[in-house]
């Protein structure tokens, strides 16, 4: 696929901007972020007018109320974006910090120092707030960004990108440090994935098909994540009331996000006591249960409605009020199920047995593993990172919530006094 001249021009501008960003002080970057926050508030009416066009187009396409809400901007949400931008400005800057330093026996001092990744390409779907989230995190860490949002929010995203660039024009940060591809042609996504001459990393934020396309077509390193089939295992020692609370929170708090709960695995000796309690609580929220035959019989005997789980149900990221239920005969079976069906995002155990907790944590290879806590905590803000650009489920170079530090790499610095190698 040939890359167009326009996209090469975009990449060139982004690369040049990244060279400027890498030598800016924290104060200069923070001043740019504060300018963006002020501009968001000053230009709220313009952004809302653009968003109204997207919302109207979404209604015409028959988008669901839930999806339309994800696309919607209003005065309160823009005010929140401005507040979040100021919050990012107040976070510690990882760039320039030393990860480690050592003095070698020959007197040479070697240091690993954090530096920006360079140019980050982000391909995302739906929510227009991502435009601000990504741009601010990239700027704080001295990275230039090339953004490509979904067609559903093209007017909103274009307006937000324009606000960012106008705000940057009066700062030390080049306006071209944040660029938005506003052409809806899907071929441009493929071209961006091959812009390896200018882009250092691609971060997709969207569904499984987007992540698959990026992995298959990109000539640039891709950080995948944001797709998860999340599990809770309730073992024989679990506090069953606590387990009900954790399942309820994981499934119903925000069912449409990647760290929401998809499957409950219950150890057989406690299944008869636990499943009716869980079903009674989830019925308040209208959760549909998809259960294995033995779990289905147990639920129906207790007077609760459920459906027999189909062959694909345990491989489905529900993103809705549907929950898979399976009874297991051992922790080994629970771990084997998770290994077979998990997407390495978020998994949890409810237990009062320290040995079981430790074994589960060591055996389950997800980006975040929880003990007696909801999977909903796998989030940069909840982990105290301040913000996140994505949740990575791969192992290189970042894993789990990607905060500011994860948007950096490092260089080795060697300082000597006339040292020569013999």
Q: Is residue 175 exposed (0-12), middle (13-18) or buried (19+ Cβ within 10 Å)? A: middle
* CATH node for 5-223+402-414: 3.40.605.10
Neighbours of 215 (CB within 10 A): 14
What is residue 262's predicted lDDT score, i.e. its pLDDT?
98
> Is residue 113 within 8 Å of 404, Cβ to Cβ?
no
Q: Which of 407, 16, 11, 4 is nearest to 197 (CA)?
A: 11
User: pLDDT category, 1, cuts 50, 70, 90?
Assistant: low
What is residue 206's predicted lDDT score, i.e. its pLDDT?
85
DSSP single-letter state for residue 344: S
What CA–CA distance (Å, rounded) separates 316 from 318? 6
What CA–CA distance (Å, rounded) separates 207 from 204? 9
Rounded mean pLDDT, 362-376: 97
Neighbours of 227 (CB within 10 A): 22
Instruction: Render pLDDT for 220-267 as a digit per residue (tens, 0 to 9).
Output: 999 988 788 999 999 999 999 999 999 999 999 999 889 999 999 999
What is residue 224's predicted lDDT score, i.e. its pLDDT?
86
Q: What contacts 24+ positions apart, CB below 8 Å, involve 21-26?
A: 21/116, 21/139, 21/142, 21/143, 21/144, 21/173, 21/174, 21/177, 22/95, 22/115, 22/116, 22/142, 24/142, 24/172, 24/173, 26/93, 26/95
**What is the residue whose two structure tokens read 């250092």?**
200
User: pLDDT category, 165, cuts 50, 70, 90?
Assistant: very high
Instruction: Render pLDDT for 72-87 as a digit per residue (tens, 0 to 9).
Output: 999 999 999 999 999 9
Is the confidence at residue 387, as pLDDT, over 80? Answer: no
- Give the least confident one: 122-126, 148-152, 289-293, 313-317: 122-126
Instruction: Render pLDDT for 313-331 as a digit per residue (tens, 0 to 9).
Output: 999 999 899 999 999 999 9
Answer with the residue of higher pLDDT: 331 or 208: 331
Residues β-bridged to residue 237: none
Rounded mean pLDDT, 53-71: 92
**What is the residue whose two structure tokens read 């510690």?**
92
Is the confidence at residue 11, as pLDDT, over 70? Answer: yes
What distance, in Å, lies between the first and last C-alpha atoms of the chain? 49
Instruction: Render pLDDT for 274-299 as a digit per residue (tens, 0 to 9).
Output: 999 999 999 999 999 999 999 999 99
Side-chain half-sphere CA neighbours of 87 within 13 A: 15
> Is residue 371 within 8 Å of 351, Cβ to Cβ?
yes
What CA–CA distance (Å, rounded) separates 188 from 399? 28
What is residue 295's predicted lDDT score, i.e. its pLDDT?
98
Percent of the chain with pLDDT over 90: 88
What is residue 256's predicted lDDT score, i.e. its pLDDT?
84
Q: Is residue 138 exposed (0-12), middle (13-18) or buried (19+ Cβ within 10 Å)? A: buried
User: What are the strands, taking DSSP E only, across 259-356?
Assistant: 261-267, 288-291, 307-308, 322-328, 346-350
What is residue 346's predicted lDDT score, i.e. its pLDDT?
97
pTM over 0.75: yes
In sequence order, what are the residues at sequence separation of 6 or more whose Cβ sits closer than 8 angstroms to the Cβ of residue 320?
A: 255, 256
Kind and range of the H or E run holding 186: none
Give the fold, CATH level 3, of 230-377: Aldehyde Dehydrogenase; Chain A, domain 2 (3.40.309)
Q: Is residue 366 exposed (0-12), middle (13-18) or buried (19+ Cβ within 10 Å)? A: buried
The ranges assigned to domains in the chain are 5-223+402-414, 230-377
The first and second tokens of residue 178, run together, are 């944040």
Answer with the residue of higher pLDDT: 71 or 65: 71
The first and second tokens of residue 373, run together, are 């806590």
- In angstroms, the Cα distances linking 422 to 106, 110, 211, 233 are 11, 18, 49, 58
Rounded mean pLDDT, 158-186: 96
- Give the least confident one: 2-6, 97-101, 119-123: 2-6
Q: What is the mean pLDDT of the chain?
A: 95
């Amino acid at each position: 696929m040939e890359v167009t001249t326009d996209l090469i021009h975009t990449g060139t501008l982004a690369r040049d901007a990244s060279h400027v960003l890498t030598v800016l002080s924290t104060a200069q970057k923070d001043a740019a972020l504060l300018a963006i926050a002020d501009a968001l508030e000053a230009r709220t009416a313009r952004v809302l007018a653009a968003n109204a066009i997207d919302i109207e187009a979404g209604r015409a396409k028959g988008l669901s109320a839930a999806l339309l809400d994800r696309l919607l901007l209003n005065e309160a949400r823009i005010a929140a974006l401005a507040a979040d931008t100021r919050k990012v400005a107040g976070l510690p800057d990882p760039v320039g910090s030393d990860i480690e330093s050592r003095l070698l026996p020959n007197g040479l001092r070697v240091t690993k120092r954090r530096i920006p990744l360079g140019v980050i390409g982000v391909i995302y779907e739906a929510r227009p707030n991502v435009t601000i989230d990504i741009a601010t995190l990239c700027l704080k860490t001295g990275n230039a960004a090339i953004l490509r949002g979904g067609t559903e929010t093209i007017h909103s995203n274009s307006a937000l990108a324009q606000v960012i660039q106008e705000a940057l024009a009066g700062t030390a940060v080049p306006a071209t440090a944040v660029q938005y591809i506003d052409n809806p042609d899907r071929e441009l996504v493929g071209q961006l994935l091959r812009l390896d001459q200018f882009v250092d990393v691609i971060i997709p934020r969207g569904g499984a098909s987007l992540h698959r396309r990026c992995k298959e077509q990109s000539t640039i390193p891709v950080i995948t994540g944001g797709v998860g089939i999340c599990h809770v295992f309730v073992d024989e020692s679990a506090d069953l009331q606590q387990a009900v609370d954790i399942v309820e929170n994981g499934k119903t708090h925000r069912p449409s996000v990647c760290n929401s709960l998809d499957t409950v695995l219950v150890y057989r000796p406690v299944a008869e006591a636990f499943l009716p309690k869980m079903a009674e609580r989830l019925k308040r929220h209208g959760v549909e249960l998809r259960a294995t035959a033995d779990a289905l019989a147990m639920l129906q005997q207790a007077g609760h409605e459920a459906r027999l789980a189909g062959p694909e149900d345990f491989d489905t990221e529900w993103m809705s009020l549907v929950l898979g239920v399976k009874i297991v005969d051992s922790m080994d079976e629970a771990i084997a199920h998770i290994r077979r069906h998990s997407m390495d995002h978020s998994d949890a155990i409810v237990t009062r047995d320290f040995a079981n907790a430790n074994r589960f944590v060591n055996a389950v290879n997800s980006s975040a593993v929880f003990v007696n806590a909801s999977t909903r905590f796998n989030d940069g803000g909840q982990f105290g990172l301040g913000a996140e650009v994505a949740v990575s489920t791969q192992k290189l170079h970042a894993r789990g919530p990607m905060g500011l530090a994860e948007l950096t790499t490092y260089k080795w610095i060697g300082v000597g006094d006339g040292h020569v190698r013999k």
